[in-house]
Amino acid sequence: MLIGIPSCLGPQLLFNLRAMGHGDELAIVDGNYPGQTDARGPGGLVRADGIGMIELLDAILKIMPLDDAVPHGAMMATVGGDGQTLDPVHHAMQQIVVKRSPGTEVLPMKGPEFYARVKSVHTLIASSEPRLYANIILRKGVIRPE
């Protein structure tokens, strides 16, 4: 255990978060996502068994800044991949992003575009989230000097 670090963030995930640089992306995917198949980046696949999307997203955004130098530091899948339809889990993800990174908008994406982008992320995190389409990509930002 560490002071100030959420306990759901395991050592492999913490290592990858620290190893990522500005502009690197990670994906948090639901329990149905083919994570082993799509994890191709240097961080590979990190399993977060027993942890849901919202808990994991909140924990990561407590310690990792989102990129504010691009229009969207976060992107999410949509229901049926249409680029518009959202479920309650998407609204919950948006709330966490706004809470932890005020001013950041989450870009809803069409399925093919979203899933193609997941294949290029630094680290793919497989959660145990049971809700469908509960997938998000986060782009790492910077911590500016005081």
Q: Active-site residue numbers?
A: 22, 67, 115
The one-letter code for the residue type at 117 is R
Closest to 133 in 3D by CA, of 83, 70, 65: 83
Two tokens at 3? 């002071």
Q: 10 Å Cβ neighbour count for 19? A: 12
Q: 10 Å Cβ neighbour count for 1? A: 4
Compute φ and ψ for 66, nearest 5 degrees: -90, 155
